[in-house]
Structure 1
Amino acid sequence: MDKYIAFAFFLMSLVSCKGQIENAANTNTQDEIIEKYLKNGAWNHHYLTKEWNEWINKGIQADSTIAYLWQQKALPFWKQKKYSLAIKYYDKAVKYDRQRWLSRLAFLKCVFAKDYEGALTDIKTYIKEYGTILEQDHSLEFYMGLCYLQLNQFDKAFETLNQNVKAQEIEHGTDWVHYLDRYYLAIAYYEQSDYVNANSELDKVLKQYPGFSDAQYYKSICLNYLGKKEEAMKIADIGKSNYHMGKTFNEDSNIYEMYPYQITWQWNVLESSIIK
């Protein structure tokens, strides 16, 4: 009997070795395809050129299961605001490498496609399956809060953003928290008509990023609601001046997309509101 058991283990080891060899060979093949069609092909052209797409299509024809090729194929469509196509191809990337690309897709749906319900679904799914992660220097909970704000679910937005800031303060200290995390927490206070706490949080934002015009915009509104009209008008004037000097959001994606509660044309509305 011992001989049969030993022989069975021998056969199992052969099958295991064969599988490992096949997986290694497949990985090598995929690396070669990426090298040929991306590094030595598409990447020699700008992503908005036809050549970019042609090279990637050749790579996909060679192996349609390489997630990175689908992610790269989707890239131009995000920048061209062709979101349906971008999501269609990005879904393929998620299909073949879920852990790497699902959280990124959630970020893109939130900031680029403005698909807030879709982004929330992806964020919750990712956190459930893999835990939280950073995307563009912010946690997934940050983007979850943005989605709730944009869906006017202000109680959920506040709960999510407040917990996000407190968790960072506990782990890293108060000075470590990104100014936009605090900015959106201030917005959540503001949307719930808690102007005292909104103003307090905006002060923290402005201490970290002096001259941040968007924070000054909302600070002026809060001060106005608190009956401090003169101070509100003064902050509004300073904020508008800072806006024209470009002191606004400085996220990498800003050259392509506006972020929620980013202020542009609203300055004229603010002036008339405070004067009244």
Structure 2
Amino acid sequence: MKNITFGISFLFTLFSFAQVSTNKAHDAIVEEFLTNCAQKYHYGFEMSEWQACLDQGLKKDSTVSRLWFKCKKYEVGMQYLNKAVFYNKQEWLPYRGFIKCIFAKTYKDAIVDLEECIKLYGNGYRMDHPYSFYIGICYLQLNEYEKAEKLFDDYVTDIYKNRQQLEHPTAYFYQAIAKYELKKWDEAIAIFDKALKIYPEFSDAKYYKAICLFKLGKSKEEVNTLIGSAKEDAAKGFSINEDNTIYETYPYQKKFIK
């Protein structure tokens, strides 16, 4: 019995080491072919060069899920991410929840993952925001605005309580969007203004604030002036300020027609 126990423990140790080694190998491939290769090129107009870098990385190891997601091949990438979650849930379950929310846009599945993260590990952070922030985005996309409002209100309250945590314009933006969807125009404007105080060129905040002003019956001149300013800022690249907006359009991110 003792030998069997030792054998199982030894195999588990080897298996765990193999998983750690694989993750380190994956990280090295991401650094070589995404960070040091693809990101030398502009994602908007040098897509062939960008894609060539990712393809090289995937030829080296096709199981690197992050490269598939940067290629917008979500279904392919998810099978490898699911394996990563199976082997190391604490590390990869939050990332999978984030991917489902922002990239794959499978919002109900994202909520399941992120709520499990909170239950198991607390309301930790991924990509600068707590898990509850992404659940809030999911609820916005599922038209469950009251649930989204509560989550964003709590998030912003926590920011105020924690003086070491900086106010975040994106947090204010989605809090205001929840108010906007609930037709709380005055509240939404006040919160959009908080986002704009931190990030004055925030085109998306200006656009939705303009709609709120219109709903409140403000003058066409005031509304059109603000929309014009939003278009100018958007043309200069000032939009939702999140790292992954280079790959995916975030919910409520305004794309102006030229």
TM-score range, shorter chain: 0.7 to 0.9
- Tell me the amino acid that sits aligned with residue 176 of structure 1: L
Q: Which residue of 2 aligns with 1:274?
A: none
1:254 Cα deviation after fit: 1.1
> Is 2:55 aligned against 1:49?
yes
> Retained in 1: the 8 A contact 2:30–2:66?
no
> Is 2:216 aligned against 1:226?
yes
- With normalisation by structure 1, the TM-score equals 0.76
> Is 2:171 aligned against 1:165?
no
**Separation (CA, whole Å) in 2 of partners of 1:123 and 1:32:** 26
Q: Give the direction of change, closer, same or farther, for the CA distance of 1:193–1:133 in structure 2 (3 Å limit).
A: same
> Retained in 2: the 8 A contact 1:42–1:55?
no
Q: Which residue of 2 aligns with 1:67?
A: none
Q: 2:69 aligns with which of 60, 75, 78?
A: 78
- With normalisation by structure 2, the TM-score equals 0.81
Q: Give the direction of change, closer, same or farther, for the CA distance of 1:193–1:40 in structure 2 (3 Å limit).
A: closer
1:108 Cα deviation after fit: 0.7
Gaps of 5+ in 2: 35-52
> Retained in 2: the 8 A contact 1:77–1:85?
yes
Q: Give the direction of change, closer, same or farther, for the CA distance of 1:231–1:122 in structure 2 (3 Å limit).
A: same
**Separation (CA, whole Å) in 2 of partners of 1:43 and 1:171:** 33
> Retained in 1: the 8 A contact 2:170–2:241?
no
Q: Deviations over 1:135-176 (max 9, x none)?
A: 110111110110000111111110111111112211227x82
- Tell me the amino acid that sits aligned with residue 142 of structure 2: L
**Separation (CA, whole Å) in 2 of partners of 1:143 and 1:263:** 19
- Tell me the amino acid that sits aligned with residue 136 of structure 1: M
> Retained in 1: the 8 A contact 2:94–2:114?
yes
> Retained in 1: the 8 A contact 2:97–2:110?
yes
**Separation (CA, whole Å) in 2 of partners of 1:40 and 1:99:** 21
Q: Deviations over 1:205-237 (max 9, x none)?
A: 100000111100011111111111232222111
Q: Which residue of 2 aligns with 1:142?
A: 133
Q: Deviations over 1:115-136 (max 9, x none)?
A: 1111111011111111111111
CA RMSD after TM alignment: 2.8
**Separation (CA, whole Å) in 1 of partners of 2:137 and 2:90:** 22
Q: Give the direction of change, closer, same or farther, for the CA distance of 1:112–1:193 in structure 2 (3 Å limit).
A: same
> Retained in 2: the 8 A contact 1:42–1:53?
no
> Is 2:222 aligned against 1:216?
no
**Separation (CA, whole Å) in 1 of partners of 2:70 and 2:212:** 35
Gaps of 5+ in 1: 1-10, 58-69, 269-276
- Tell me the amino acid that sits aligned with residue 166 of structure 1: T
Q: Which residue of 1 aligns with 2:41?
A: none
Q: Give the direction of change, closer, same or farther, for the CA distance of 1:219–1:44 in structure 2 (3 Å limit).
A: closer
Q: Give the direction of change, closer, same or farther, for the CA distance of 1:32–1:100 in structure 2 (3 Å limit).
A: closer
Aligned ranges 1:108-257 → 2 under 5 Å = 108-172=99-163, 176-229=166-219, 230-257=221-248
Structure of larger gyration radius: 1
**Larger CA deviation: 24-33 vs 180-189:** 24-33
Identity of aligned residues (%): 34
Q: Give the direction of change, closer, same or farther, for the CA distance of 1:149–1:44 in structure 2 (3 Å limit).
A: closer
Q: Give the direction of change, closer, same or farther, for the CA distance of 1:115–1:201 in structure 2 (3 Å limit).
A: same
